[in-house]
Amino acid sequence: MKPSEIILNASDYVSEERLWELLMDVATYGATEKGGVNRQALSPEDTAAKNHVVRWATERGFQSFHDEIGNLFIRREGNDPTLDPVMTGSHLDSQPTGGRFDGAFGVLAGLEALEALNDAKIQTKRSIEVVAWTNEEGSRFSPGAMGSSVFSGIKTLPSVMDLTDPAGVLLSEALKATLSEVLATRCSLGRVKPHSYVEAHIEQGPILEEGEIPIGVVSGIQGIRHIDINVTGEEAHAGTTPRRSRTDALVGGINIVNALHKLTFDDKDILRFTIGRFEVHPGSPNTVPGQVHFTIDLRHPDKKVLSSIGDEMHTVAKNAGGECRVEVLDIGFITPTEFGIKMINIIAKAADHLNYKNVTMPSGAGHDAMHLSNICPTGMIFVPCLGGVSHNEAESASSQDLAIGTRVLVDAITYLANE
């Protein structure tokens, strides 16, 4: 794509103010006192945010579709509706103490792109669909990136239905409520096959801000391995049970964590090891815990490292648990993703054409794009966020940077939609 090939620049019509207003409107759903959002997947807040998007679409004459796993699509019809559409989007669900931009920016940048295309009176050959994938975060129902994984055929719909949230609510029940309340047209998962997919997202890391670079052209996504560990000891009275007679699940669990910290120590600091959920039952101050459950999130750009260290965890955890019964469950293994050079080039050239400094970089976080890359050419656009902070109510980004990302996005998808 040479600059001359872009006939009309929808990017000229992107409104920084309009985008910001939409972001702030959507940030009211699940807004927290500290300025973040708690809009967990398939919650009433998540549904309300989706319906805000549906109303936005209806007011502008765009069709909305809602598939069996709750993915929401806003369609701007192309000249040839029979062609595979170009897709862009991200997710509207958040972490329990999440920020206003993680996910929401990608969806609302897509809507701003549609608005800019309308204002520019650009008619594309292919339709463009803005999508909000269900449960990217995985904080309520694990694992995340669920809607995109089901859409892409990585997981089947029945395989996730029996998952439960920490309160014991079945995913099938939460989904049923969402599907009945979101005002979009119901559609099947097989309704469309994307021609290509571009996702805009805040970086969630410090590289762009540190380098004063407004655009990251994402080369790929590091792999993730999820492992759950259940430790079973025996409940006992805190006052009457000597140490020698205890099978304390918390002691066992902590010994396992110590062993895993040793196993995963990487002096190059590339391997990412996180225990984000650590639950202790029954949780009474004067009862020796009988059960510990914790999650492991292991990430690395090299599949071999994830395979060997993840496999080793099974043995290490079992050996470290002492007299407790230790169960190690492989929950998910997302192999590292490499985006193709074609999409990297289209995004980089759109940024170059707009004279925005940009850098090609891998993503430290998982995104819905990793699943889409299995079924169509896929790319991502990163914009800086304050201090690299994300999954935090303090998450922030500037309206200028978000508008810059949206300008690159709309030009890239316009190009793709005319292929």
Residues 255-314 that bind a copy of itself (CB under 8 A): 257-258, 261, 266, 269-270, 272-290, 295, 297, 299
Min. distance of Cβ 48 from a copy of itself in angstroms?
21
- What H or E segment, with its residue span, contains residue 75? strand 72-76
- Nearer Cβ to a copy of itself, position 126 or 226? 226
Within positions 30 to 89, which residues make up the interface with a copy of itself, using CB under 8 A? none
Burial class (CB in 10 A: 0-12, 13-18, 19+), 1: middle
The number of residues that bind a copy of itself (CB under 8 A) is 72
Question: Which segments of 182-239 does DSSP mark as H helices, in order?
Answer: 207-211
Query: Closest approach of Cβ 319 to a copy of itself, in Å?
Result: 18
> What is the DSSP code string of 39-68?
--TTSHHHHHHHHHHHHHHHHTT-EEEE-T
Cβ proximity to a copy of itself, 77 vs 234, nearer residue? 234
7 vs 167, which CB is nearer to a copy of itself?
167
Helix (H), strand (E) at residue 76: strand 72-76
**What is the footprint of a copy of itself within residues 125-184 (CB under 8 A)?**
137-139, 142-144, 166
Residue 212 · residue 195 · CB < 8 Å: no
Residue 342 CB, shortest distance to a copy of itself, in Å, is: 25
- d(C-alpha 80, C-alpha 376), whole Å: 19
The answer to the question of residue 241 lying near a copy of itself (CB under 8 A) is yes
Cβ contacts of residue 311 below 8 Å, gap of 6+? none
Stretch that binds a copy of itself, among 188-196, 370-378, 389-397, 405-413 (CB under 8 A): 389-397
CB of 249 to a copy of itself, least distance (A): 10
Residues 321-340 that bind a copy of itself (CB under 8 A): none
Nearest to a copy of itself of 2, 243 (CB atom): 243
Q: How many residues does the chain have?
A: 419
Nearer to a copy of itself, 61 or 239 (CB): 239
User: CB of 311: closest distance to a copy of itself in angstroms?
Assistant: 19
Q: Taking Cα atoms as reference points, which of 292, 231, 297, 294 lies closest to residue 264?
A: 297
Task: State the helix-helix crossing angle for 16-26 and 104-119, rounded to 10 degrees.
Answer: 140
Shortest distance in whole angstroms from residue 404 CB to a copy of itself: 20
Q: Which is nearer to a copy of itself, 44 or 387 (CB)?
A: 387
Site string for a copy of itself, 88-107 (x = CB under 8 A): -------xxx----------
Check whether the bond before 282 is cis (ω within 30° of 0).
yes
Least CB distance from residue 205 to a copy of itself, whole Å? Answer: 3
Q: Buried b vs exposed e over 29-62: b needs ≥16 C-beta within 10 Å?
A: bbbbeeebbbbbbbbebbbbbbbbbbebbeeeeb
Class of residue 180 by CB neighbours under 10 A (exposed 0-12, middle 13-18, buried 19+): exposed
Q: Based on CB atoms, which residue is closest to a copy of itself, 244 or 304?
A: 244
The nearest distance, CB 415 to a copy of itself, in angstroms, is 28
Residue-wise burial string across 324-357, b where 16 or more C-beta atoms lie within 10 A, e elsewhere: bebebeeebbbebbebeeebbebbbbbbbbbebe
Contact present, 36 and 392 (Cβ < 8 Å): yes
User: Given candidates 224, 350, 380, 383, which one binds a copy of itself under the rule CB under 8 A?
Assistant: 224
Cβ of residue 371: shortest distance to a copy of itself, in angstroms? 15
> Residue 11 or 363: which CB sits closer to a copy of itself?
363
User: Looking only at residues 201 through 220 of this chain, which bind a copy of itself when binding is defined by CB under 8 A?
Assistant: 203-207, 210
Assess 19 for contact with a copy of itself (CB under 8 A).
no
Applying CB under 8 A, the span of 65-73, 151-159, 235-243, 309-317 interacting with a copy of itself comes to 235-243
**Three-class SS of residue 217?**
strand
Q: CA 25, CA 40: separation in Å to the nearest integer?
A: 17
Which residue spans within 203-354 are E strands per DSSP? Answer: 215-221, 223-232, 236-237, 272-274, 278-281, 287-288, 291-300, 325-334, 337-338
Binds a copy of itself by CB under 8 A, chosen from 254, 359, 375, 386: 254
Least spacing, CB of residue 180 vs a copy of itself, in Å: 27
State the minimum distance, in angstroms, from the CB of residue 204 to a copy of itself: 4
Measured from the CB atom, the residue of 222 and 418 that comes closer to a copy of itself is 222
